[in-house]
Amino acid sequence: MAWETVIGLEVHVQLLTKSKIFSGASIRYGAEPNTQACIIDLAMPGVLPVMNKEAARMAVKFGLAVGAEINHRSIFARKNYFYPDLPKGYQISQYELPIVGKGSLTIAVNDKEKVIGITRAHLEEDAGKSLHEDFHGMTGIDLNRAGTPLLEIVSEPDMRSAQEAVAYLKKLHELVRYLEICDGNMQEGSFRCDANVSVRPKGQKEFGTRAELKNINSFRFIEKAIEYEVERQIDVIESGGQVVQETRLYDSVKDVTRSMRSKEEANDYRYFPDPDLPPMELDQSFIEAVARSLPELPDAKRRRFINDYQLSDYDAGVLTASREMAQYFETVVSESGVEAKIAANWVAGELLAYLNKDAVDIKDSPVTAGMLSGLLKRIKDNTISGKIAKDVLDAMWKGEGDADVIIDKKGLKQITDSASIEPIIDEVLANSPSQVAQYKAGQEKLFGYFVGQVMKASKGKANPAQVNQILKKKLGA
């Protein structure tokens, strides 16, 4: 039987505010345990939450970017359950009226575009961490993370393959970083994903029973976890069993998913509106101000790069993968004065190779946009050839200085006066009598051989155009 996969994703995006969502404590990552938990985060008797307006601003920013309805009035609710790293015994979240309503995100898989519905996005606070190691059988509690603002983005069950799920996640990841509302750091848990996965016979309208895969922290793992889970569910059904609704954890070491708790064991969270927080009212002027602050979004930027710079879809995609990358590219185009396509080749090709090789983020690149522009200028004004330029870039990457400094220090300046090039050519021709004879007998493709020999003899410094011109003249004589 042919099966169809149905996937919906819930993504927890940690917002880049300075302080927590309901207290003034810092949310900096990696501090000593419990040093960033104030009396409110510790749920001391009598304390009260106060909403961080900045978190609301960021949520609205996201909502506007995915074309969603923004709810002018949204409500915070308490989700009640006991756990040692949940200090109040409830999590403040949004339940019936979230800040962001229906929106959508367009993804592309195998060159085909598809619109994925976003059901809602709501604000909530994170819990702390339970530490099970190093406490001699006891559990340690670190409440630094408790109260960190999260935006939970819930998709419609619109994805039909692991590839689509990953494409959606990457798109979302790119977007939240563009909006500067999340650092996107998956290792530190700033961008976490739960996947609801089910299968159904192709053509069937009703959804199958779903399993929820929890907290998967890389794009690769999400793909593998979904693929494993789909296979597992098909196996269960084909061998006569039934998929049960449950929460499953992905084990990346063994590449399997494993049951965590079933629906029967699920908590009754007893949601109700938090009486400590009045409904959050957002007026139109606030929303409009956020709209004006929106940056150019990835899709719009990509279209502009294709239209204005005549770039290929691929190059435009690479160069708009992050705001920093796009900014870098546009700086190089304007400062160097070279054709956009050449700048694109250098940024998306040469530079990106270095960045990937050393796993450096573009914003930390040792070769700045200004430095790369300086190099490209020297190609443009014929000071060096494109080939030499690659050596200069390598030296710049190693921290040897600006292009001009390196060219000067290493004597890489291109030889552009004919009087210096001619003796080199004469020597090459004199040393290759048989090739000259063959060329003259009609083997014109040997021309490249002569160019190569001349470049080699000049250590790459001879201006290739002039070499061509002089060689043609001499061989034609």
Partner 1 sequence: MFHKKTIAELSGDLAKKTCSSVELTAGFLDRIEQHKDLNAYITVDRDQALTQAREADVMIQHGKATALTGIPIAQKDIFCTQGMLTTCGSKILSNFISPYDATLIARLKQAGAVVLGKTNMDEFAMGSSNETSFYGPVKNPWDTSRVPGGSSGGSAAATAARLAPAATGTDTGGSIRQPAAFCGITGLKPSYGRVSRFGMIAFASSLDQAGPMTQSAKDAAILLNAMAGFDDKDSTSSGIAVPDFTETLNHDLQGLRIGLPEEFFGEGLNSEVASVVEEAIGEYKKLGAEIVKVSLPNSHLAVPCYYVLAPAEASSNLSRYDGVRYGLRAQEYGDLIDMYQKTRAQGFGDEVKRRIMIGTYALSAGYYDAYYLKAQQLRRLIAEDFNQVFEQCDVLMGPTSPTTAFKLGDKTDDPVAMYLNDIYTISVNLAGLPGISVPAGFDSQGLPVGLQIIGKYFDEARLLNVAHRYQMVTDWHRRMPKEYA
Q: Cα(first)–Cα(last) distance of the chain, in Å? A: 75
Show the DSSP H helices in 43-98 as ranges.
Answer: 53-65
For 286-324, give the DSSP string. Answer: HHHHHHHTPPPPHHHHHHHHHHHH---HHHHHHHTSSHH
String marking each residue 251-270 x if it binds partner 1 according to CB under 8 A? -----------------x-x
Residues in the chain, how many? 477
The single-letter DSSP state of residue 245 is: P
The one segment of 49-57, 179-187, 197-205, 409-417 that binds partner 1 by CB under 8 A: 49-57
Q: At its nearest, how many Å lie between partner 1 and the CB of residue 206?
A: 24
Q: How many residues bind partner 1 (CB under 8 A)?
A: 29
| Rg of the chain (C-alpha set) | 30
State yes or no: residue 314 binds partner 1 (CB under 8 A): no
* Alpha-carbon gap, residue 407 to 398, rounded angstroms: 14
Give the nearer residue to partner 1 in terms of CB position, either 51 or 236. Answer: 51
CA angle 136, 139, 144 (to 5 degrees): 130
Q: At its nearest, how many Å lie between partner 1 and the CB of residue 88?
A: 5
Could you tell me if 229 and 213 are in contact, meaning their C-beta atoms sit under 8 angstroms apart? yes
String marking each residue 1-40 x if it binds partner 1 according to CB under 8 A? --------------------------------------x-
* Closest residue by Cα to residue 215 from 175, 258, 254, 178: 258
The one segment of 41-49, 115-123, 164-172, 369-377 that binds partner 1 by CB under 8 A: 41-49
Q: Which residues, in sequence order, are bridge partners of residue 290?
A: none
CA angle 207, 211, 216 (to 5 degrees): 125
Give the nearer residue to partner 1 in terms of CB position, either 146 or 454. Answer: 146
Binder among 2, 30, 82, 359 for partner 1 (CB under 8 A): 82
Give the nearer residue to partner 1 in terms of CB position, either 108 or 277. Answer: 277
* Alpha-carbon gap, residue 454 to 433, rounded angstroms: 15
Could you tell me if 105 and 118 are in contact, meaning their C-beta atoms sit under 8 angstroms apart? yes
The single-letter DSSP state of residue 349 is: I
Q: At its nearest, how many Å lie between partner 1 and the CB of residue 85?
A: 9
Give the nearer residue to partner 1 in terms of CB position, either 89 or 366. Answer: 89
State yes or no: residue 46 binds partner 1 (CB under 8 A): yes
Q: At its nearest, how many Å lie between partner 1 and the CB of residue 203?
A: 34
Could you tell me if 439 and 411 are in contact, meaning their C-beta atoms sit under 8 angstroms apart? no
Place of tokens 């909403």: 51
Interaction residues for partner 1, span 96-135 (CB under 8 A): none
Interaction residues for partner 1, span 268-297 (CB under 8 A): 268, 270-272, 275-278
Q: At its nearest, how many Å lie between partner 1 and the CB of residue 8?
A: 22
H helices, E strands: number in the chain: 16, 15
Q: At its nearest, how many Å lie between partner 1 and the CB of residue 158?
A: 28
Q: At its nearest, how many Å lie between partner 1 and the CB of residue 52?
A: 11
Give the nearer residue to partner 1 in terms of CB position, either 47 or 457. Answer: 47
CB atoms within 10 A of CB 174: 18
CA angle 307, 312, 315 (to 5 degrees): 110
Q: At its nearest, how many Å lie between partner 1 and the CB of residue 143?
A: 8
Q: At its nearest, how many Å lie between partner 1 and the CB of residue 50?
A: 5
Place of tokens 């914003």: 363
Give the nearer residue to partner 1 in terms of CB position, either 244 or 266. Answer: 266
Binder among 18, 69, 73, 84 for partner 1 (CB under 8 A): 84
Binder among 13, 21, 141, 195 for partner 1 (CB under 8 A): 141
Could you tell me if 189 and 217 are in contact, meaning their C-beta atoms sit under 8 angstroms apart? yes
Interaction residues for partner 1, span 391-450 (CB under 8 A): none
State yes or no: residue 73 binds partner 1 (CB under 8 A): no
The one segment of 74-82, 215-223, 251-259, 444-452 that binds partner 1 by CB under 8 A: 74-82
Could you tell me if 158 and 113 are in contact, meaning their C-beta atoms sit under 8 angstroms apart? no
Q: At its nearest, how many Å lie between partner 1 and the CB of residue 19?
A: 14
Q: Which residues bind partner 1 (CB under 8 A)?
A: 39, 42-51, 78, 80, 82, 84, 87-90, 139, 141, 268, 270-272, 275-278
